[in-house]
A and B are shown apart, each in its own frame.
Chain A
């Protein structure tokens, strides 16, 4: 099979590391060759964060380049716009509708753009948008936004529920497992 490309973006602190670990576990359980690229260091401090997931029979590059991703998963709306260019023609933006103002917006030096979902569609993308923050709160904590979004993303894979649950067990601390399973389910069925 050809290599599939997914890009997961968000704001530092939203838990993209855990999300891509979860993705990696699921791909291993399903027996693929996979590469998952993470971000550590400076950008984790509230900056824009991008992680790449690639899988198939044989994967070379650990990064997904401009115009190559079939799925762009974003934990925050503006980040989906920032990284839109990674999307391949006909690709899908799976995004949280939550807005987190970056510092230039907070300081009044820039404006948070409007109607981004419409602009994604105008540029030929399919859009799958959910209010992941509301769902995360319903699951028990705003900190589970990442897992809600991963639940949403799971709809685009033919993996069994069992695979995802196993992957969750391998990545989430036992104390928070139930809450995260709930968040995952809410995302998947929203």
Chain B
């Protein structure tokens, strides 16, 4: 059947068709919808894992039990799972195991733009790179075959434009696969030096076999067109190159990006007058061509930074025909903001009032770094806030706290807290518990007590976890209660020893959160002092020197009312939610 599917949904469909029985992942843009889509197939046990390392190990365990398995993550997730990856490369698999990794050139929703292809090379595992949804489906299925045939975990590399664009796929039925028996084999699965040493040559032999496959696989194909120009490319860049050149240039499209072919590339180079590599981020293919001694252009034409596009490619080749017009006008930016009623707003207002040095982390609450709250000092990677705070405090840093979300705490924050509990520093850790993984679009996590299908399951108790880490002072606050939050945070910052403050209030966007009536401004009372503007609520603005509330946005969280010294926000006269 023909269907229009998101690249991510096509990977999910491919996994289902390949007979996958288990998927375990941690969300991360742009990879999240793969696992969300897999969860819709009843035949596949699917779960959100607390982090990517756990997800990869769960998938590996499942493949040992003889069933095909899957794990998906964003590029930085592979950093977290890298320890596992480098050694399951040695053990290999039993049934097939596929790892989908979505890179994000352009950093639409990421903290860096690393290139995952280096991981395939460094960990010595094969990597495939689809260029549209049809290939997402097809390559995922093929990846399972290769994984079993070559006894290796295998990576399918995606990027934002492939993951998040819909295109047409041909779907098939699900394969019926027998369970492969688990056979005890410590020489293969117990990676201590005596057993690991003989595994390494096996890995090298495998990669050399895969290199031979890369020479002849249909995934790497020459599309002969005009021969003045030959372009080597892969993934979404292939689509851009075809958009610009059509048949006018010859193209070597690489779908098998590690290990790369050698003879095929040399053969292609002989067919064309000028050889150019078009790839986003690092010169991975280009360096390989240079190692083969070829005269090739790549990164001296195209940037190492950000995404490419058809226009950028056309411009660099000097064939750009038309450009759009820009409106000559200062267009104000529209950066993402905390939603009206966001439970993080009150917390960051208090922290800005206390002029605290805030070690931040990753999630919706990172928006606390933006104006007018401006109350976050650092943000590196998931979990870094807690350990960073401990180091800062131990080295004499003053007036500091950290803020971390519930999902991020369960992901990697706990490890930092173990350090604080163990080595005892005067750290104040604030866990912004909004009962959901917000930033990536509302995934359940170990602290919510529900699984990926919304069923009630086990629940990690944050408070008990903190206790178990050795923290004695644990307080809970409602971040919408500004006075109480300020009092408690100040007190904990001034008290020696480690403490945790759980700022608990569910995300306003959750179905279970019921908005209160929207507020009204009593214009007679409002003096236009702009105190209420200090919280950056998108529902409040100044009109004719008076505060004004947008009733379609306001959910009556009452954070603003606590700031108003003139009692100008009238709750009683407030309109019902949704009125205008």
**Interface residue ranges, A against B (CB under 8 Å):** 11-13, 20-21, 24-25, 27-28, 33-48, 52, 59-63, 65-68, 78-79, 81-82, 84-89, 101-113, 116, 119-120, 123-124, 137, 141-142
Q: Is the CB of B334 within 8 A of A102?
A: yes
Tell me the bound Cα distance from A48 to B335 in angstroms: 7
Segment from B121-129, B162-170, B519-527 that makes contact with A: B162-170
In the assembled complex, B578 has its CB within 8 A of some CB on chain A:
yes
CB A62 to nearest CB in B, in angstroms, measures: 4
Chain B binding site: helix, strand, loop or mixed by DSSP? loop
Q: Cβ of B437: which chain A residues have Cβ within 8 Å of it?
A: none
In the assembled complex, B322 has its CB within 8 A of some CB on chain A:
yes
In the assembled complex, B33 has its CB within 8 A of some CB on chain A:
yes
Q: Cβ of B331: which chain A residues have Cβ within 8 Å of it?
A: 78, 81-82, 113
Q: Cβ of B324: which chain A residues have Cβ within 8 Å of it?
A: 66-68, 84-88
Partner of B4, one of A24, A44, A142: A24
Tell me the bound Cα distance from A35 to B322 in angstroms: 22
Q: Is the CB of B327 within 8 A of A116?
A: yes
Q: Cβ of A120: which chain B residues have Cβ within 8 Å of it?
A: 327
Q: Is the CB of A60 within 8 A of B327?
A: no
Q: Identify the closest chain B residue to A11 (Cβ).
A: B334
Q: 17 more A-B contacts (CB under 8 A) besides A35-B132, A85-B324, A88-B322?
A: A12-B336, A28-B3, A33-B167, A35-B167, A36-B165, A40-B32, A41-B30, A48-B333, A62-B162, A65-B310, A66-B311, A68-B324, A84-B324, A102-B333, A102-B334, A110-B330, A119-B327
- The interface size bin for chain B is 35 or more
In the assembled complex, B198 has its CB within 8 A of some CB on chain A:
no
Q: Is the CB of A61 within 8 A of B168?
A: no
Interface string of B63-90 (1 = CB under 8 A from A): 0000000000000000000000000000
Can you give 19 A-B contacts (C-beta < 8 A)?
A21-B166, A24-B166, A35-B132, A35-B167, A38-B164, A41-B108, A45-B336, A52-B165, A61-B243, A63-B309, A81-B329, A82-B334, A84-B325, A85-B326, A89-B322, A102-B333, A106-B533, A107-B536, A141-B578
Q: Is the CB of B240 within 8 A of A142?
A: no
Query: A40 and B327 in contact (CB under 8 A), knowing A61-B310, A62-B161?
Result: no
Segment from B14-22, B265-273, B364-372 that makes contact with A: B364-372
Q: Is the CB of B161 within 8 A of A63?
A: yes
Contact residues of B between 310 and 331, Cβ < 8 Å to A = 310-311, 322-331
Query: A113 and B108 in contact (CB under 8 A), knowing A36-B165, A65-B309, A142-B578?
Result: no
Q: Is the CB of A84 within 8 A of B327?
A: yes
Q: Is the CB of B242 within 8 A of A60?
A: yes
Query: A46 and B167 in contact (CB under 8 A), knowing A85-B325, A142-B578?
Result: no
Q: Cβ of B311: which chain A residues have Cβ within 8 Å of it?
A: 65-68
Interface string of B538-555 (1 = CB under 8 A from A): 101110000000001000
CB A172 to nearest CB in B, in angstroms, measures: 16
CB A96 to nearest CB in B, in angstroms, measures: 14
In the assembled complex, B337 has its CB within 8 A of some CB on chain A:
yes
Interface string of B458-476 (1 = CB under 8 A from A): 0000000000000000000
In the assembled complex, B440 has its CB within 8 A of some CB on chain A:
yes
Q: Is the CB of B364 within 8 A of A124?
A: no
Q: Is the CB of A39 within 8 A of B164?
A: yes
Q: Identify the closest chain B residue to A79 (Cβ).
A: B334
Partner of A38, one of B166, B334, B337, B533: B166
Tell me the bound Cα distance from A82 to B331 in angstroms: 6
Q: Is the CB of A102 within 8 A of B335?
A: yes
Q: Cβ of A63: which chain B residues have Cβ within 8 Å of it?
A: 161, 165, 309-310
Q: Identify the closest chain A residue to B307 (Cβ).
A: A63
Q: Is the CB of A33 within 8 A of B168?
A: yes
Tell me the bound Cα distance from A66 to B242 in angstroms: 17
Q: Identify the closest chain A residue to B107 (Cβ).
A: A42
Q: Identify the closest chain A residue to B163 (Cβ).
A: A40
Tell me the bound Cα distance from A60 to B327 in angstroms: 29
CB B554 to nearest CB in A, in angstroms, measures: 13
Q: Is the CB of A112 within 8 A of B167?
A: no
Q: Is the CB of A40 within 8 A of B29?
A: yes
In the assembled complex, B297 has its CB within 8 A of some CB on chain A:
no
Q: Identify the closest chain A residue to B246 (Cβ).
A: A60
In the assembled complex, B109 has its CB within 8 A of some CB on chain A:
yes
Q: Cβ of A82: which chain B residues have Cβ within 8 Å of it?
A: 331, 334
Q: Identify the closest chain B residue to A86 (Cβ).
A: B324
In the assembled complex, B339 has its CB within 8 A of some CB on chain A:
yes
Q: Is the CB of A103 within 8 A of B335?
A: yes
